[in-house]
Amino acid sequence: MTLSVALGPDTQEGTRTGTEEATDSLTAPDIPWNLVIWNDPVNLMSYVSYVFQSYFGYSESKANKLMMEVHKKGRSIVAHGSKEQVERHAVAMHGFGLWATVEKASGGPGGNSGKSGGPGQGKGKRG
């Protein structure tokens, strides 16, 4: 409840002209964002898989595949969605104690850009 109030689109003021992120999240909610889970030496592999299965509803094999990717490659993109969706997931992951971040699907190392073909999406994050 807190989150839906807090993250409503109108909490972003349009005063900071030039910051594309604010503009993007207002005008193009369909720009895909990634939820990234990072490896750490504390979280149990079984626990990470359990979180992926129970929270996202992933099958055991999908959850284990993502978990192994986190473990071996250091990070894995485990969900996509609007900025609001992945932020909501990130808070849930932090609740479970997993180390989660959000990033724009087109930016960031290792982020697969997906097929974001909407108008006005050619702009990079940094001009």
Partner 1 sequence: MAKAFKYGLKGITGYLEPAERELLRSLIDDVISMLQPQERDGQDPLAALIGLDMDVAEPTDRAVRRLLPNVVKDDGAASLEFRQLTERSLRETKIGALRAAALDLDKDEIVLTTEGAKHWSMALNDVRLVLAERLDIRDEEDAEHVHLMQDWSQAEDVESYLALVYNFATWLQESLVQAMLQSLETRR
User: Nearest to residue 126, comparing CAs of 14, 8, 5, 21?
Assistant: 21
Pick the closer one to partner 1 by CB: 3 or 26: 3
Which of 99, 111, 116, 121 is in the footprint of partner 1 by CB under 8 A? 99
Which two structure tokens, joined as six digits, stand for 93? 């992951």
Q: How far is the CB of 36 from partner 1 (least distance, A)?
A: 8
Q: How far is the CB of 56 from partner 1 (least distance, A)?
A: 13
**Rounded Cα gap, residues 79 and 85, in angstroms:** 9
> In 52-114, where do the E strands start and end?
75-81, 100-104
Q: Find residue 81's DSSP bridge partners.
A: 33
Q: How far is CA 17 from the centre of its chain?
A: 25
Q: Find residue 100's DSSP bridge partners.
A: 37
Contacts to partner 1 from residues 58-87, by CB under 8 A: 60, 87
Which of 66, 67, 70, 100 is in the footprint of partner 1 by CB under 8 A? 100
Pick the closer one to partner 1 by CB: 4 or 117: 4
Kindly list the residues in this chain that would bind partner 1 in the complex (CB under 8 A).
2-3, 5-7, 11, 21, 36, 41-44, 46-47, 49-50, 53-54, 60, 87, 90-91, 94-97, 99-103, 108
